[in-house]
Amino acid sequence: MGATPDRIAAVVAVLATALSLSGCTPDPPSPKAAVNDPATRVDLRSFYTQKPHWKPCGEEECATLKVPMDYADPGDGRTFTLPLIRVTAADPERRIGSLVFDPGGPGESGVAFLQDGGVVAFSDRLQDRFDIVGFDPRGVAGSVPALECGADEEETSEGDVEPEPLYPATAEQRRVALADAESTLAACEEHSGAILPHVGTADAARDMDVLRAALGEDRLSYLGWSYGTALGTAYGELFAHRVRAMVLDGAVDPSLDWSEAARSQAEGFHAAVDDYAENCAEVAGDLCPADSPDGIRELLKRLYEETAKEPLPVDDSEGDLDTYLLHTAVTMSMYWPEDQWEALSRGLSDAADGDGTKLAGIASEEAGEEDSSDNSDAALIAVNCVDIPHPKSPQEYWKALDQALRTDGDFGAESVVAALDCKGWPQRGPGPHRVKADGLPPVLVVGTTGDPATPYHEAQSLAHQLPQGMLLTFDGLGHTAYGRGGSCVDDAVDGYLIDLEPVKPGTTC
């Protein structure tokens, strides 16, 4: 869910809703909301009255924000220090305020997003009228403290090791999968046990309200991509009276339980590979690895089967391209077709000739360049596992695994095995639920019909759950739409964020 550092780089490369608002100003907070407003709590006053000290950091400005580790006991002395970054409004005389964003994940750094040139994802209109403000959520990247789960340090033999299968079918394979999941939890507890209960999305949303106050904003303007939609939804439920405008692009449906969420994403990627087969010639041209959609499907099927038996050699590497790396390369290439399908096509063509080098390169890009502050893998696991209840019985996973394999093949199997990492975790989030956000003003949900990671039906569901949800549909391929879906999408989002213009029901770009 969401953008990893290489996905952010891909965004930068690619980028070279009938509801009445009765006016442009949201209704004032109700007396009940004001009474329950955390900003008025005496024990939170020192956090809510902070003023960030902005200093130049490259072409942007940076600062930090302190938030309590435990909002139930903010006076215990434990805090997170969150890095902040902003690009100030280009037209200060017409400045509306601050636009806070989250690029996704969970586990992605808003600071790194802007430092890596991600400001181009925002239109010139938005950059003129808003300070664009990013942050590293609690436990993520430059947050102090930051999550660390460490590598599995269990000693392994140096002989031949059976590659990890996408679908653990035998009793021994399932034992190994369970042991891997248990070692993941043990490593996270060893390195970050004290903060694990406090890295969930609800607490990150509370941090965002402290940020709102620190920025001097009475109400929040927000844009969230992918996992950022879950963070925005949580904020809307907790602080409905504090929302000015909110765009949720690439929506996560909070009503899905763990197995439904896994199946939803598996369906999305499965469909995206079919989209690749059907549209490869249009996007990648002569580079397509086969002459027909069926030919591409047959090639993929053959490569999955062959690499499961004997991995393909990779130049200048001690490792080979096994089924897991092949699957990673294919999955990663579904996010932004216009930028990634050509490279995938070259890699598949080489793999058909017995060379796994290019595909291994695509798979390895997920980790990005070595960066000591990038703990996105640990954060992805920790936040998801803390937020969403998962069963403790292995049989629940094997049952879901078998069903997922039948419906979505390797993508279904891999999604359930990934969820196994959350077995045994303490759960602190609200769990699956329909949105409850009385008083929330109109929120714009953006859904892409061919989105692999956050399938379109989740955007439809979230828009329906929100009290005044507006749905903007982008009829296209790839993950999320704003900043890559053309002027139709950008104009609708900009008009809403700047002037609070409603998007009519049924609007499609």
451 is catalytic: yes
Token couple for 447: 């859904």
Distances (CA, A) of 405 to 175, 324, 402: 19, 15, 5
Separation between Cα atoms, residue 455 and residue 269, nearest integer Å: 9
479 is catalytic: yes
Q: How many helices (H) and strands (E) does the chain have?
A: 17, 9
Q: What is the pLDDT of residues 397-454, one digit of tens each?
A: 999 999 999 999 999 999 999 999 999 887 777 889 999 999 999 999 999 999 999 9
Considering only residues 150 and 266, tell me which one the structure prediction assigns the higher pLDDT: 266
Taking alpha carbons only, the member of 440, 449, 428 closest to residue 468 is 440
CB atoms within 10 A of CB 318: 5
Helix segments in 247-375, DSSP class H: 258-284, 293-309, 323-332, 337-352, 357-364
Asked whether the beta carbons of 185 and 382 are under 8 A apart, the reply is no
Q: Does the structure show a pLDDT above 70 at 300?
A: yes
Q: Can you tell me the distance from the alpha carbon of 322 to that of 311, in angstroms, rounded to the nearest whole number?
A: 4
Q: What share of the chain in percent tops pLDDT 90? A: 81
pLDDT of 8 over the 80 cut? no
Distance CA 249, CA 6 (A): 19
Active site residue 433: no
- pLDDT mean across residues, the chain: 89
**Quick one: pLDDT at residue 371?**
54
Calpha distance 45→63 (Å, rounded):
19
Angle at 80 between CA 120 and CA 257, to 5 degrees: 75
How confident is the model at residue 366, as a pLDDT? Answer: 57
Q: CB neighbours of 53 closer than 8 A, spacing ≥ 6?
A: 63, 64
Range scoring the smallest mean pLDDT among 1-5, 42-46, 169-173, 291-295? 1-5
What is the pLDDT confidence band of residue 5, given thresholds at 50, 70 and 90?
very low
Q: In what order do the strands lie in the sheet with 60-68?
A: 55-57, 60-68, 79-87, 130-135, 97-102, 220-225, 243-249, 443-450, 469-477
Alpha carbon 271 to chain centroid, angstroms: 19
Q: From 251, 358, 259, select the one nearest 303 (Cα to Cα).
A: 358
Distance separating alpha carbons of residues 396 and 393, to the nearest angstrom: 6
The confidence score (pLDDT) of residue 248 equals 98
**Bond prior to 426 in cis (omega within 30° of 0):** no
Other beta carbons less than 10 A from residue 79's beta carbon: 17
Please compute the mean of the pLDDT values over residues 107-118 and round it to a whole number.
96
Catalytic residue among 387, 479, 490, 494: 479
Domains delineated in the chain: 27-147+196-255+431-499 (3.40.50.1820), 258-367 (no CATH)
Question: In angstroms, rounded to a whole number, what is the distance separating the alpha carbons of residues 327 and 359?
Answer: 9
One of 410, 451, 490, 494 is an active-site residue; which one? Answer: 451
- For residues 268-294, average pLDDT: 93
Q: Amino acid letter at 378?
A: A
Examine the pLDDT at 22 and tell me if it is beyond 50.
no
Catalytic residue among 109, 123, 226, 376: 226
Sign of CA dihedral 202, 204, 210, 214: negative
Q: What does DSSP assign to residue 196?
A: G
Of the CA atoms within 13 Å of residue 251, those in its CB half-sphere come to: 34
| HEC profile of 8-69 | HHHHHHHCCCCCCCCCCCCCCCCHHHHHCCHHHCHHHHHHHCCCCCCEEECCEEEEEEEEEC
Alpha carbon distance 38, 34 (integer Å): 9
CB 187 within 8 A of CB 381: no
